[in-house]
Amino acid sequence: MALSAPIHKFVKDESIPDNFELWYDDLSETEGEGKASQYKNKDDNILRAPLEEPLDDADLAKPSSETGFQVSDGILVDPDGQGAMHRFRTDERQAILSKDHIHVEHDCTSMTWTLNMKTAKWAFGDAYFGLTNASRFQCPGDTVGYDVAGTMIRGLTPQNVPIMQRTKLKSDLGTTRHSAIRITADLHRFKMRWEVYCDAPPIKPDAKPVGVIEYPICGWRSARLWISLRSVDDHVRLYSVETTTKKSDEAGPSHANNQA
């Protein structure tokens, strides 16, 4: 249920939980620097997402059947729901979360998303791709991801990812801003598998990733795709989603989009 009626302007409401007040709505830190009025005018023009209640564990345990991206503040979702574009503040990050997710109670033990950037200002340090266990863009939840060079950022909310670690992959992978990314959330082994390919999707059957990273997600009961975009007009597209069930080790398409 949407808790804020207008979509283009944030309206404070006593019925909205405290964690729905987002960091860029707090002007107190900028007032002493003479930036408050500047940001207020800019933020009034940010596309505002309906703020929805976080999902509890019982909700997350229900089947996840719809692919695509949730709406975030300053993010324009494509009409088919399978892409999203940065329309936030210039050179400031915003998070995008997938609608679908995996949960420890689901029949599937892993879920894999294949995606890439259709447009990006920079090849490296601009778009990051990974997982979060937050259910909404404005809610807390462990979050981790990598750019196409394998540089990591992580944090305790999808929007606040201040911890950075330089890549442990080789220096020249041959990746570009359009390289395909495959991200697997495995809640049977409690790990994320992150893969990058030189070419854009679709990934050829015999193609091998040029970079592979595995990251532990111990204790996670659910996971969903997370993307962080920094530059205006950065545009990400979801190509397909696959799942592996408890009854089989074979991965198969699950409401795949097959977007070229």
DSSP string, 185-252: EETTTTEEEEEE-SSPSSPPTT---SEEEEEE-TT-SEEEEEEEE-STT-EEEEEEEEEEETT-S-EE
Of residues 175 and 38, more confidence is placed in 175
Confidence of residue 38 (pLDDT cuts 50, 70, 90): very low
Task: Give span(s): CATH 2.60.120.920, the chain.
Answer: 66-253
Q: What is the mean pLDDT of residues 127-154?
A: 97
Average pLDDT over all residues of the chain = 84
Q: Quick one: DSSP state of residue 129?
A: E
CATH fold group of domain 66-253: Jelly Rolls (2.60.120)
* pLDDT tens column, 11-35: 333 333 334 445 555 544 444 444 4
